[in-house]
Amino acid sequence: MTLTSTDPRTGVASPTALEATSDAQVDRIATAAASAADELRRMPRAARAALLRRIADEIEADRDALVAIAAAETGLAEPRLNGELTRSAFQFRLFADAVDEGGYLEAVIDHAGDTPMGPGPDIRRMLVPIGPIAVFGSSNFPFAFSVLGGDTASALAAGNPVVVKAHSSHPLTSARSFAALEAAARAAGAPDGVLGIVYGQQAGAALVAHPRVAAVGFTGSLHTGRVLREIIESRENPIPFYGELSSLNPLIV
């Protein structure tokens, strides 16, 4: 099925060159992400931080095109979109700094020694990546909470591959944003499959149900969040669901 893009300022829907992702394609993308997970996990933190900074650079280098496409798909004004794109680039650089610093690993070493209960073992602990993350973007933030959003940045920073579900209200913006991610990944020498994107509601459902997906990050409606939760609960192995659902912003006139 060919996807359409609608300009909310005119209500005119136009066909795109994008197709809804089939279940077989979702399987290939999720499997490739899982294959990339071990290599990404082994990348030095400095290399992972460099990837995040390269993404920020690619976003800013393609600013004019990204903002123009997003304006046509969302109706948001260019100053608003420019500010949001700057925020997206900032988020990637912020997480790059966190990767360099390393505190997020929460590494703990309890050395062996005598205790009142007898010899104590040497215990070492740190946080590790869990695997491919499915990221669902929001409709009202086409950059900072979408393909180029904080969920993508934080998942990559932690060493997890990311498969993004493009939002139906801005598919062309999602595609152009993903192109920036891919260009940065190639330039930084990231493993193949570390980034993926799917289009269409059925593809999103298939992605959440896929056994190689390790967690879901979602920003959107309460209804859709409940649908995704039901899919997760039906999996043989349930996975974490990190959702921001149905926030309401009051407007007082």
pLDDT higher than threshold 80 for residue 250: no
pLDDT interval class at 19 (50, 70, 90): very high
- 26 CB contacts (<8 Å, ≥6 apart)? 198, 203, 206, 207, 210
> What is 23-103+131-245's CATH number?
3.40.605.10
Give the residue-averaged pLDDT of 163-176. 96
1 pLDDT tier (thresholds 50, 70, 90): confident
Q: What is the pLDDT of residue 251?
A: 79
Residue 74 has pLDDT above 80, yes or no: yes
pTM of the model: 0.91
Residue range 178-211, pLDDT digits in tens: 999 999 999 999 999 999 999 999 999 999 999 9
pLDDT at 115: 87
Residues 6+ apart with CB under 8 A from 52: 92, 93, 95, 96, 99, 153, 156, 157
Mean pLDDT within 26-41:
96
Cα(98)–Cα(94) distance, rounded to whole angstroms? 6
pLDDT reading at 132 higher than 90 = yes
Enter the DSSP assignment of 21.
P
Assign 154 a pLDDT band (cuts: 50, 70, 90): very high
Q: How far apart are CA 198 and CA 136, in angstroms?
A: 10
- Flag whether pLDDT at 24 surpasses 90: yes
Q: What percent of the chain has pLDDT over 90?
A: 88
The confidence score (pLDDT) of residue 134 equals 98
Tens digits of residue pLDDT in 108-127: 999 998 889 888 899 999 99
pLDDT band at 18 (very low <50, low <70, confident <90, very high): very high
pLDDT at 55: 98
- Domain positions in the chain: 23-103+131-245
- Write the pLDDT tens digit of every residue in 36-68: 999 999 999 999 999 999 999 999 999 999 999
- pLDDT digit string, tens, across residues 212-246: 999 999 998 889 999 999 999 999 999 999 998 87
pLDDT of residue 246: 76
CA atoms within 13 A on the CB side of 137: 34
> CA gyration radius for the chain?
20
The interaxial angle of helices 23-42 and 201-209, nearest 10 deg, is: 50
Instruction: Indicate if the pLDDT at residue 247 is higher than 80.
Output: no
Q: What is the mean pLDDT of the chain?
A: 94
